[in-house]
Amino acid sequence: MPLKNYLGVLYNAEHPVYVPAEDSFLLLREAKCHGKVLEIGTGSGLLAIYFAKNGKQVDAVDISRDALDCASGNCILNGVSINLALSDLFQNVKGKYDTIIFNPPYLPANDNIEGAEAWNGGIDGFAVIRRFLAAAPSYLADNGSIYLILSDLTNISNLVEEFRNFDFLMLGSEHFETETIHAYELRLGR
């Protein structure tokens, strides 16, 4: 597979690792990382590597060993050092972070297709996102930010209502034939 380059980050990725696409690129363009950074579900490592190349201290986790192997190889390609760990969301994460990035499985689906873990968000699209948002406050530093992608194929207003402890700020969107995805910044409400 030929090397790809996005905003100066060289990367390889192929199935079963999530191959960076428009959602990854939107999140990368909109996230304004500061301080200590954690990426949940790093996949190929594209976002983590970009922020590491720009001087941030980055930790990255993924539930997939294949993804971590891919991210590790991409770190070598880019000459950066990132702390990589196998983890289901925050399971093996310690400490607090100023910035947490997550491109979650957000598509509403009711199937068990092999390899769908990267995009299948359950019936309402929020199965993984709910678990993430419930745990995230314990890992977010004071004045910290979370950056994540949500889809208009879901009922975003229901999620906002359910997690009223966060302020949701839409940063940017990308429209496709059947869907619009949105990059959000979340901060804990005062």
Amino acid, res. 24: S
Which pLDDT does position 121 carry in this prediction?
A: 65
Cβ neighbours of 31 (radius 10 Å): 24
Which pLDDT does position 124 carry in this prediction?
A: 84
Superfamily designation of domain 4-188: Vaccinia Virus protein VP39 (3.40.50.150)
Which pLDDT does position 115 carry in this prediction?
A: 63
Which pLDDT does position 108 carry in this prediction?
A: 72
Going by C-alpha positions, the residue among 142, 134, 125, 190 that lies closest to residue 162 is 134
Q: Which residues pair with 180 in a beta bridge?
A: 175
**Could you tell me if 58 and 81 are in contact, meaning their C-beta atoms sit under 8 angstroms apart?**
no
Q: Which residues pair with 169 in a beta bridge?
A: 185
Domain residue ranges of the chain, discontinuous segments joined by +? 4-188
27-82 pLDDT tens trace: 999 999 999 999 999 999 999 999 999 999 999 999 999 999 999 999 999 999 99
**Could you tell me if 18 and 44 are in contact, meaning their C-beta atoms sit under 8 angstroms apart?**
yes
